Each structure stands twice: as structure tokens, then as C-alpha cells.
Amino acid sequence: MKRETLQKGLFTLISFLCVMIVLCWASWTSADDDVPVTCYKGYARIGTVTVFDWRAAAETCNTVLYDCRGACIGCFRDFDYVEDVCVDLRGNEFLR
């Protein structure tokens, strides 16, 4: 009897912690942290998208904008630099 009670209490505690982790993660990646990204194909500006994780900038550009056709990079303003920071499909970061 004690073992079943202990297991039930442990399961409840683990479930509660999992819910709290998910809620904290969801609030950390909320829409308040969106990043406007400009999509470029070569030197041509194709359009603008919004991402919640700057590392997904190029992937989002190429998924959302038809004219990219898998060849766009995503650039965003990082106020630590004078130039925009860009990300290609491989996840490489560089300044533009």
C-alpha cells in the first residue's frame, strides 16, 4: 500500500514539474520575442517574415516566400553590430 502511494505521489510530482517546464518554455518563447527578418536571394530583397528564433531565419524565409525557392538567407538587426546579422540554410551566421 505504501509503495503504491509513493509511486502515485512521485508520478504526480513529475507530471507537475513537466507542466511547469512546458509553461515556462512557452512564456520564454512568447510572441513578445518575435524577430523581424528580411529575406534576400543574392542581393535582391525578396520579402520580410517574422520568426521567434533567429536561428530559423533562412529556413522560414525559404518556407514562407515562394520566390526564395530554397536560395534565400534571412537577415535581422542585431543592435550590437552596425550591420545586419544573416543566417543561411546551414545555420552559418555572418554580417551583411
Q: Nearest CA to 76 among 42, 46, 48?
A: 48
Sort 56 into a burial class: Cβ within 10 Å, 0-12 / 13-18 / 19+.
middle
Is residue 86 scored above 90 in pLDDT?
Answer: yes
11/28: higher pLDDT: 11
Q: Nearest CA to 88 among 64, 65, 60, 67? A: 60
Which of 42, 39, 48, 36 lies closest to 77, judged by CA? 36
Query: What one-letter code names the amino acid at 6?
Result: L
Q: Which amino acid is at 21?
A: I
Q: What is the pLDDT of residue 61?
A: 96
Q: Which residue has the higher pLDDT, 30 or 70?
A: 70
Chain segment 34-80, per-residue pLDDT in tens = 899 999 999 999 999 999 998 999 999 999 999 999 999 999 998 88
At residue 16, the 3 state secondary structure works out as helix
Note the pLDDT of residue 25. 62
Nearest 10 degrees: CA dihedral of 80, 85, 90, 91?
Answer: 30
